[in-house]
Amino acid sequence: MTSFSTLGNPGRPAHYKKENDPEPLQNPLVLELAQKYNKNPAQIILRQTLQRGIAVIPKSTNPDRIKSNREVFDFELTKEEMHKFEGIKEHRFFDLAMARDHPMYPYKD
């Protein structure tokens, strides 16, 4: 399994955002752990996803963020902290509406 848009795609155009979309980088648990581990929120989200055994391919065009996204192997979240992530009930779903006219769109039927 590979995580797509793990960080919530904060740079996506406003017309693709839905009202009340959760912002993973602003989640209180993520912010708390970022402070505890002296990491940024993106690093916390990437680390917990990796610890779940999910491949992560973060995207950025910013060289500093690309470097930062690699700096997730020098700490590990505890079992208790990982369990707290299970309590997050906000989910985001990409319905691919923006690609409906693409010739490879898989849901035409």
pTM for this prediction: 0.77
Residues 6+ apart with CB under 8 A from 42: 7, 25, 58, 65, 68, 69
In a domain, 16, yes or no: no
Residue 58 lies in a domain: yes
Contact 22, 92 (CB under 8 A): yes
Structural domain containing residue 36: 2-7+21-99
**Best CA proximity match to 5, nearest among 100, 85, 95, 79:** 95
* Cα 86 to chain centroid, rounded: 15
Question: pLDDT 10s per residue in the chain (109 long)?
Answer: 777 778 877 666 665 566 666 678 889 999 999 999 999 999 999 999 999 999 998 888 889 999 999 999 999 999 999 999 988 876 655 556 767 788 877 776 6
The number of folded domains in the chain is 1
